[in-house]
Chain A
């Protein structure tokens, strides 16, 4: 049985459009994002494992308490080329959008997620393994758990 399980649970929706037939068994199982909910109570909720919202919320607040963060989560933010950094409490943001808005305001320039290009400042982060990663690939909650510091890269020059 050949299952090309590229299991990255939160990659963007792209179910393979080739129709699987019983004999064919290589299917790309990229899982789709949950439909963005309008209810603020569910803004950063995941849908796996299947537990009810109340239990999920209880576990979330317990986790934050256990980690001794007292629900605050301060990380250092540097703009590439600028020696003095800032400190930011990530727990005050509801998601990537508000983080980017705030950083853009703080550093007085537009900051985005995504690949480096000539025009924009791109946000990257160092995770708990010490690797530098692109911000925005993983759900916000997971990001909060793994982020250690942030860096805003300069626009590329030719």
Chain B
């Protein structure tokens, strides 16, 4: 008797399985389940665009409607990956255009997207609905115009922190009068002014518009009229908040804000003047997300704002908030889940140190029981503070501490910050993401290796004494998926000893460490399923094996070495001495 589930039944069951993790498990059961699953998967996520070829993905998932891709490694956000490294969207768009013309959604992160890519999208996918580009570059506003004019069912167009060649604000005028389906529009990263009348008309004919993030060039006055046209917004990113308005305009704007009953998320607020902060009071109680990272508002004004945000779950703010301001957050924002504090002093903005210390974070850890995600830039820190934070918040999932002074010890005891990070790793059993900084010895990493069993992503800068550090991490952290390291003193030995571990991880990045050219070659030979990329400006052919390389990027892949590498990226095939020379890479 055939006990196999009919594929139609299985298909129906699978239509309820949304999570890709579950679908991946389903596909491993047997061949027929693999087949049924792959034919029904609509949402495909590829977290390293070089781990697999676009053709393989298109072949496997013919019914794909949504594709998410990530390109460059995370440290590219901080200028550590040279221009021209890679991460090109074109091969993917080309492949999908040929094999999956029903594609509706494309979400790209840290990829190079050209105008040709955008034109191809506009021309190839008839029912294209969603384009979200995060930290992408390579395109101009002309490409945006191509999308605007052609995608008649466009729902979302979001440019998050992209580097765009801005040729002017005309692109917005290309949205046809017939386009009424817009739900989300984010052009906050563009510089040029768009025509206000076009923007107003677009907003008026978009009844489903829920999210609107303007760029800095949109004036405060313009904001008023836009809000009156879209009081239903759930997410708002304002433009510049600093024009001088007359009394009538101010009260009109205040009125507009008070009409926004659905608003949950607020960002933008560039250059916000203290006298305009009260305009926001009416929306504060409803806010769950507030991004003040571009608002150089001082503590007293911030406090006035934050005392009113009793439902806030996510707060991004500059360290101008000071310890005092964070105390107010601790007592007013009891629902807080995520806190990010950015350094106003990073570019010398404040010549004297801002009055924000480790104490601020301790207060928030005490007062906010749901706090689970932290990114905190601080000049110095103490072990005691971290121990307290860990004790208060064992539910932390993400702890990223950036002590800005490299090698800074505990400023009270002058000891390394080993004990502090030990407490975090030990107590926060669900910790998935950790960034460490300050003066750290190998001991800190021994603790992390011992306790950080759920740790998936780890970032390290200017730390450790020796190869032991890397060894502790690679042998101890069972769930380790992404490891990124800069300016640490190791580690051929640890790398080669733990080579097998690297195949269980998505990627490893090491820059300005002590990894030798010889070790890279060895590793590359030993582990064929890894791409070992050496990214170095100096010609490698003439270098001795013992010479350290500037950067390495190692990732597991089914696609083999990539063919689009620039001059300064090298993998084993480039070196004829090794013998695998028939794949001549430029």
Contacts and interface: CB of A to CB of B under 8 A. Distances in A.
B348 A63 contact: yes
Contacts of A49: 343, 346, 377, 402, 404
B357 to A, nearest CB: 16
Interface string B324-348: 0000000000000000001110111
Given A34-B79, A55-B293, A66 B349 contact: yes
B94 interface: no
A56 B346 contact: yes
Interface in B306-363: 342-344, 346-349
Interface residues of A, number: 47
Contacts of A56: 346-347
Given A51-B343, A53-B79, A15 B513 contact: yes
Nearest to A32: B512
A128 to B, nearest CB: 10
B161 interface: yes
B78 A21 contact: no
B407 A37 contact: no
A51 B79 contact: no
Given A5-B407, A31-B487, A62-B296, A51 B550 contact: no
Contacts of A47: 78-80
Given A16-B514, A42-B79, A29 B489 contact: yes
B462 interface: yes
Contacts, number: 131
Contact of B466 (A21, A46, A59): A21
A30 B428 CA distance: 34
B489 A37 contact: no
Interface in B268-319: 270, 293-294, 296
B514 A15 contact: yes
A46 B298 CA distance: 26
A52 interface: yes
A58 interface: yes
A50 B163 contact: no
A70 interface: no
Given A15-B512, A20-B490, A52 B407 contact: no
Interface in B362-386: 377
Interface string B482-495: 00000101111100
Contacts of B82: 35, 37-38
Question: Which of the listed residues A46, A49, A56 has the most CB atoms from chain B within 10 Å of its own CB?
Answer: A49
A99 interface: no
Contacts of A46: 79
Contacts of B404: 48-49
A59 B513 CA distance: 29
Interface string A17-37: 101111011010101101111
A109 to B, nearest CB: 32
A13 interface: yes
A141 B347 contact: yes
A72 B94 CA distance: 47
A32 B407 contact: no
B406 interface: yes
Given A3-B465, A22-B466, A50 B83 contact: no
A63 B462 CA distance: 27
A41 B166 CA distance: 13
A15 B402 contact: no
A114 interface: no
B77 interface: yes
B147 to A, nearest CB: 22
A15 B294 CA distance: 37
A46 B346 CA distance: 10
Interface of A: 1, 3, 5, 7, 9, 13, 15-17, 19-22, 24-25, 27, 29, 31-32, 34-39, 41-42, 45-56, 58-60, 62-63, 66, 141, 145
8 contacts: A17-B548, A19-B493, A41-B163, A50-B75, A50-B402, A50-B461, A51-B346, A59-B346
Given A3-B407, A7-B406, 19 more contacts: A1-B416, A1-B441, A15-B548, A19-B514, A20-B467, A21-B466, A22-B468, A31-B462, A34-B79, A42-B83, A46-B79, A47-B79, A48-B404, A49-B404, A50-B77, A51-B342, A52-B77, A56-B347, A145-B348
